[in-house]
């Protein structure tokens, strides 16, 4: 085994959550190292909608104003039942602000303010073990390199290698998948500032303008084995989505026909069951997880990304409180490790209830979409009506300042 490099805080995964956590720590004057297996920043999935809670977290990270510049305010949601004409039923989308932003804009903004060398690309973590002497986490990389981390934060998505160390159940596959993409309108489009959802049986088509010239759309449908065959070929993805929405309004079909092929992706949803979040341990010693690694959820309430930004703010706040209250020159290693552990326990305490609520609501909405059983549908409707009567209350949440 190679000689180990030693670091205080290591983050595995340079997606939205990993970059946001590194930035949040940096804003508090704390250095970290992000290990990302890709060779560059990833923006698969075209865009995402950020509700008021996510914008609050972005404001705490100091990025709200720069990201608002190139994205429209979305005034609400318009639901269209395709079988019943093009009439829209208007619903709120968020308690307060909602905007759709390009994923590339978000990850670039998060990465831009990080000190040089914070993100190390091409670093695939394959295993995590405990050093029995120092209680540090020992990370083994695909190339044989070894890194020891006093604090390890797994932001490595739905197949998290760090999660395995925590012995939490792996994420499950949903029976639903989505195709996502962009369509550009160089001369400007004429869509209202609404998040339109057109529905026919078990197919949903979502359309939301990002700005004057760019529109994000998705097609959600039941997953079939064809999806895994087409997911590597963007021409096939386009053809498959057009086939799925063949009975939808002409302007929607036209939008997908004219979409930017390179922006298309197709993916089956993954989720963590709400009861895993209720019963699982969010950290072990000085190792924890955040973002999709902790709370992957199907995107029916569009909160996975925003919840990841909240995680980043809370995690950095908890770590900073403990690190800054101790004198780094005199504190012993054992004492420092105890402080880190307390910080991660505090993070788990602050996040658990919030994440249980989000994952339960999205779990029920996903179940309602994919099931053909009237009994299950009815059960979901009742639970949603009792516990989530205000369906956008989740966007009211404030994760607090850094």
Residues at the site binding ligand FAD, with contacts judged by CB under 6 A: 12-18, 35-38, 42, 45, 48-50, 54, 123-125, 155-157, 161, 178, 180, 267, 269, 291-293, 299, 302-306, 308
d(CA 294, CA 111): 22
Minimum CB separation from ligand FAD for residue 325, in Å? 28
Find the helix packing angle between 374-387 and 333-370, rounded to 10°: 130
Minimum CB separation from ligand FAD for residue 267, in Å? 6
Nearer to ligand FAD (CB atom), residue 355 or residue 364: 355
d(CA 255, CA 269): 24
Nearer to ligand FAD (CB atom), residue 38 or residue 391: 38
In sequence order, what are the residues at sequence separation of 6 or more whose Cβ sits closer than 8 angstroms to the Cβ of residue 166?
Answer: 154, 280, 281, 282, 283, 284, 287, 288, 289
The answer to whether 266 touches 240, Cβ cutoff 8 Å, is yes
Nearer to ligand FAD (CB atom), residue 60 or residue 336: 60
d(CA 135, CA 144): 21
Minimum CB separation from ligand FAD for residue 32, in Å? 14
Nearer to ligand FAD (CB atom), residue 32 or residue 337: 32
E strand map for 122-187? 125-130, 137-141, 146-154, 172-184
Lookup: tokens for 62: 């100091």
Nearer to ligand FAD (CB atom), residue 286 or residue 304: 304
Residue with tokens 């995107």: 299
Minimum CB separation from ligand FAD for residue 213, in Å? 20
Minimum CB separation from ligand FAD for residue 306, in Å? 4
Minimum CB separation from ligand FAD for residue 295, in Å? 8
Nearer to ligand FAD (CB atom), residue 336 or residue 344: 344
C-alpha pair distances (Å), 62 with each of 24, 91, 109, 315, 365: 9, 30, 10, 16, 33
The answer to whether 293 touches 160, Cβ cutoff 8 Å, is yes
Minimum CB separation from ligand FAD for residue 71, in Å? 12
Nearer to ligand FAD (CB atom), residue 40 or residue 400: 40
Minimum CB separation from ligand FAD for residue 334, in Å? 29
Residue in 191, 243, 188 with CA at minimum distance from that of residue 217: 191
Nearer to ligand FAD (CB atom), residue 54 or residue 209: 54
Q: How many CB atoms lie within 10 A of CB 315?
A: 28
Pairing between β-strand 5-12 and β-strand 146-154 as defined by DSSP bridges:
parallel
Nearer to ligand FAD (CB atom), residue 346 or residue 362: 362
In sequence order, what are the residues at sequence separation of 6 or more whose Cβ sits closer than 8 angstroms to the Cβ of residue 116?
Answer: none
Minimum CB separation from ligand FAD for residue 84, in Å? 26
CA atoms within 13 Å, Cβ hemisphere of 200:
13
């Amino acid at each position: 085994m190679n000689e180990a490099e030693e670091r205080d805080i290591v983050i595995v995964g340079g997606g939205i959550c990993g970059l946001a956590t590194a930035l949040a720590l940096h804003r508090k004057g704390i250095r970290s190292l992000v290990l990302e297996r890709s060779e560059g920043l990833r923006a698969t999935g075209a865009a995402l909608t950020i509700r008021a809670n996510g914008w609050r977290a972005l404001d705490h990270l100091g990025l709200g104003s720069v990201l608002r510049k190139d994205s429209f305010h979305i005034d609400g949601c318009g639901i269209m039942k395709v079988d019943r004409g093009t009439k829209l039923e208007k619903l709120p989308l968020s308690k307060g602000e909602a905007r759709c932003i390009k994923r590339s804009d978000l990850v670039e903004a998060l990465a831009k303010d990080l000190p040089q060398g914070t993100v190390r690309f091409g670093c695939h973590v394959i295993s995590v073990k405990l050093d029995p002497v120092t209680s540090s986490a020992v990370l083994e990389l695909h190339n044989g390199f070894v890194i020891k981390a006093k604090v390890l934060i797994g932001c490595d998505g739905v197949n998290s290698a760090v999660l395995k160390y925590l012995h939490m159940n792996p994420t499950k596959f949903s029976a639903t998948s989505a195709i996502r993409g962009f369509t550009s309108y160089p001369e400007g489009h004429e869509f209202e500032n609404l998040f339109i959802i057109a529905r026919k049986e078990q197919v949903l088509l979502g359309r939301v303008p990002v700005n004057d010239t760019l529109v994000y759309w998705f097609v959600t449908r039941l997953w079939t084995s064809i999806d895994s065959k087409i997911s590597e070929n963007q021409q096939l993805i386009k053809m498959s989505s057009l086939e799925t929405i063949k009975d939808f309004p002409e302007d929607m079909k036209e939008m997908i026909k004219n979409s930017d092929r390179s922006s298309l992706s197709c993916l089956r949803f993954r989720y963590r069951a709400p009861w895993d979040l209720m019963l699982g341990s969010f950290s072990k010693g000085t190792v924890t997880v955040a973002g999709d690694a902790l709370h992957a959820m199907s995107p029916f309430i569009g909160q996975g990304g925003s919840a990841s930004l909240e995680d980043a703010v809370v995690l950095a706040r908890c770590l900073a409180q403990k690190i800054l209250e101790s004198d780094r020159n005199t504190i012993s290693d054992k004492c420092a490790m105890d402080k880190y552990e307390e910080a991660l326990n505090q993070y788990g305490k602050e996040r658990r209830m919030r994440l249980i609520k989000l994952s339960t609501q999205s779990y029920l909405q996903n179940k309602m979409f994919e099931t053909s059983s009237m009994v299950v549908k009815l059960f979901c409707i009742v639970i949603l009506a009792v516990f989530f009567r205000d369906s956008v209350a989740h966007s009211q949440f404030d994760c607090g300042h850094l």
